[in-house]
Amino acid sequence: MEKRRLSLIHNAYIVFLKDLHVEFRSRYAVNAIFLFAITTLTAISFSIGPIRLRSEILSPLLWIILFFSSMSGLAHIFVREEEQQTADTLRLLTTPNSIFLGKWFFNVILLFSLEVLIVPVYLAMMGVQVNSPGSFLLIIIIGSIGIASVATLIAAIISQASAKGALLAVLSFPISLPVLISGIHGTQLAMDGSTFAETLSDLQILFSFSIVIITLSLLLFEFIWRK
Amino acid sequence: MILDKSWWKYLLGLWMLLVILGAFLYAPPAKGLGETARIIFFHVPTAWLASLAFLISAVGSLQYLRTQEKKYDIWAYSAAQIGLIFAILATVTGSIWAKKIWQSFWNWDPRETSIFILLLIYAAYFALRSAIDIEEQKAKLSAVYSIIAFVTVPFFIFIIPRVYESLHPDPLINPEGEIKMDTRMLQVFINSLLSFTLLFFWMLRLKIETMKIYLKLDQSVSK
Amino acid sequence: MWCVEATEISQKFNRRRIFEAISFKISGGQSLAITGPNGSGKTTLIKIICQLLRPTSGKLLIRNEERIIHPHQIYPYVGLVGPYLQLYNNLSALENYTFFARIRGLTVDIQHFKQLMVRLGLQGREFDELRTYSSGMLQRMKYVVAIMHQPRILILDEPTANLDEDGSEIIYGIMEDQKKENILIIATNEPEEVKFGEETVVLNP
């Protein structure tokens, strides 16, 4: 029993490393997600111009950028395997959950690396003042795990469909709403300057949602992955 | 079986006719909301049934994943179809009511938000189904999605009120909460709820039986 | 003794019946050839044997002695080569080998890798990305990763696709080796290759 559990994480890590390696060579998903985020941010900043916005608007704008950037880049990890016909190869190498966890981790890292760039740029370009940086950071981190988890699960589903394009956003949006709503609300509070206690309820929802989605994914992924 | 007789359908028709008449002639106008409250007899049942359909679809999906039997996929799909119809009806009736009371068709009031999310989920479900060609994959993947969507529902119960609060810091009168129903209103309301539910199950059963016939036809052709 | 046991397998896609009531039992040291015209379902049957696909009806079991091996445990024991199974073209041959070794829980043995590359006639190309390979070289590379872990069950769908005479000779050598103690299953249209199978399954469209 012990040996099998270790091998789940171990194999997931190997899948992650492989995906990182392949992505490093082709940079497809990285390009998609970064370019989308930068383009959207530029468009927003340009259109708003010098007008200073309130946190009630700045918060949703940030999450819109993050969500739709995720939609551009996070499906690649599964779609690529199917399109390049390496999916069956992978199916014969290790258990479904190892594959899922490896790819989930990839998407989380991908989204985090986007945010390392785009969030500071956003704050600078839009002239945002974050009065509770600790809460702000925590909300973004846990919320991103939520978005990446939903996107990974839905990406697995649509990689088996034919017309993949818009499907990821259409399917992910209703499921991601708890993350978006709590994330937007919490981020706004953090921008205005709130105590940790005030953002706690949002954090609780974000955290429990991520746990639920990841657990559900581990239960359901085998059904998705096996034909 | 008693359901195979057709006399109850005529009874249902008569019952609903009475409900409609009762809604407009028998029940008194509600305090504070006046005649507009009559829509409650049609709006609330459709909303409740749209949600019930979602539950039935999710259960059918779960059973399909467990047993791989096609009939459960038919369940899930049919319930989603009927559910979508009722969800659209609920959204439209609710929106009309909102216009009359709050002078705007859409407000992101908690209930409006929840029915809208339900609409989105149904739409996504059908979008997914239409994007898959292979029957077994179609059934399996849409079943998985249905379950995922269902599991997020408890979260909505917590967050949706928050959406409203952040948009409307001074909540307007929430009609369902404020009405203490007059006995006659209550009578018509209960009757409406029950007759609509019966109508829903009739539609659902019809749809399922039709899909089963299609299935049998396909199976005999492929032999 | 390992064995692959198929009982009354049939497969339908949408409404089309692909094949029905296929049964066989192959043990270590034996080989099976699956043959039939194009579109008769050879690849489908291969996928069912690998447990990549679940049959519409019937059962496919892989056993070691009397113990049934669960689908989640067969990974170290199966090797598959087929036209629909690609490797990671952005990575080099060595990087592919390393990935396959680590995920199968094997030590990364560079010497072993070099030996395999020599055997498959790919010496000197160890560090090149697979997208620079020709189709014949890719086919050979698939063999490198399919036999590196000495699988109990080697399954080859169109063993010599894209290969010239020299390449085919190498593959026939691999097939002979596999037949000695382990299970070999091939799907092919070439009459010379069908002879490799002691048992044959003929699929009719």
Domain count, chain B: 1
Establish if B44 belongs to a structural domain: yes
C12 and B222 within 8 Å at the Cβ level: the answer is: yes
Model confidence over B30-60: pLDDT tens digits? 666 677 777 888 888 999 999 999 999 999 9
Instruction: Note whether B222 contacts C13, CB cutoff 8 Å.
Output: no
Within 10 angstroms of residue B140's Cβ, the number of other Cβ atoms is: 23
Model pLDDT for residues A32-53, shown as the tens digit of each residue? 999 999 999 999 999 998 888 9
Residue B169 has pLDDT above 50, yes or no: no
State mean pLDDT over C114-137: 93
- The verdict on C17 touching B (C-beta cutoff 8 Å) is yes
Residues of A in contact with C104 (CB under 8 A): 93
Question: What pLDDT is stored for residue B6 in this prediction?
Answer: 78
Distances from the Cα of C162 to the Cα of C140, C144, C203, angstroms? 9, 16, 23
Nearest chain B residue to A202 by CA distance is B159
Residues A62, A147 contacting (CB under 8 angstroms): no
Identify all chain C residues contacting A17, using CB atoms and an 8 Å cutoff: 99
| Structural domain for A40, as ranges | 2-225
Cβ neighbours, 10 Å, residue B155: 20
Q: What is the pLDDT of residue C1?
A: 86
- Count of structural domains, chain A: 1
The C-alpha of A106 sits at a distance from chain B's nearest C-alpha, in angstroms, of: 21
Percentage of chain C lying above the pLDDT 90 cut: 54
Contact A173 B120 (CB under 8 A): yes
Q: Which of A92-96, B121-125, B177-181, C34-38 has the least mean pLDDT?
A: B177-181
Contact A92 C50 (CB under 8 A): yes
In a domain, B26, yes or no: no
The pLDDT value given to residue A1: 44
Q: pLDDT tens digit string along C139-176?
A: 999 999 999 999 999 999 999 989 999 999 999 999 99
Comparing A207 with B156, the larger pLDDT belongs to A207
- Report the chain B residue with the minimal C-alpha distance to residue C15: B222
Q: The complex's ipTM?
A: 0.92
DSSP 3-state percent helix, strand, coil across chain B (nearest 5): 85, 0, 15
Q: In this structure, which amino acid lies at residue C71? A: P
Could you tell me the pLDDT band of residue B166, with boundaries at 50, 70 and 90? Answer: low
Who among B124, B131, B158 is closest to A205 (CB)? B158
Does residue A132 register a pLDDT over 60?
A: yes
Q: What is the pLDDT of residue B170?
A: 42
- Biggest CA pair distance of chain B: 66
Q: What is the pLDDT of residues A61-99, one digit of tens each?
A: 999 999 999 999 999 999 999 999 999 999 999 999 999
What is the value of pTM for the model shown?
A: 0.91
Contact call for A94 and C75, based on CB within 8 A: yes
CA C179, distance to chain mean position in Å, is 13
C14 CB neighbours in chain B (<8 A) are 133-135
Q: Is A147 on the interface with B (CB under 8 A)?
A: no
- Which residues of chain A are within 8 Å of residue B159 when distances are taken between CB atoms? 177-178, 181-182, 205
For C35-80, what is each residue's pLDDT tens digit? 988 888 899 999 999 999 888 888 899 998 888 888 888 899 999 9
Mean pLDDT of chain B: 83
B29, part of any domain:
no
Give the span between the Cα atoms of C115 and C105, in whole angstroms: 20
The residue of chain C nearest to residue A17, with distances taken between CA atoms, is: C99
Residue in B54, B44, B84, B58 with CA at minimum distance from that of residue B188: B44
- H helical segments located in B68-182: 70-102, 110-130, 135-167, 175-178
Task: From chain C, pick out residues whose CB is under 8 angstroms from the CB of A18.
Answer: 88, 91, 99, 103
Which residue among B128, B152, B163 sits closest to A171, beta carbon to beta carbon?
Answer: B128
Average pLDDT over residues B20-39: 75
d(CA B121, CA B150): 9
Task: Sheet with C16-27: list strands edge to edge.
Answer: C16-27, C2-13, C57-64, C67-68
Interface test with A, best of B108, B146, B159 (most A CBs within 10 A): B159
Q: Do C15 and B134 make contact, defined as CB atoms within 8 angstroms?
A: no
pLDDT surpasses 60 at B174 = no
Task: For residue C148, give the DSSP letter.
Answer: T
Give A93 to chain C, closest Cα distance, Å.
5
Q: What is the pLDDT of residue B171?
A: 42
Asked if A216's CB is within 8 angstroms of B147's CB, the reply is yes
pLDDT greater than 50 at residue B172: no
Range of the domain at B70: 40-191+198-222
Helices (H) and strands (E) in chain C, counts: 6, 9
What pLDDT does C199 receive? 87
How high is the pLDDT of residue A6? 66
Tens digits of residue pLDDT in C92-105: 999 999 999 999 98
Q: What percent of chain B has pLDDT over 90?
A: 37
Q: Give the Cα separation of C114 and A43 in Å (integer).
A: 53
Residues 6+ apart with CB under 8 A from A162: B131, B132, B133
pLDDT at C11: 87
- Give the model's pLDDT for residue A7: 86
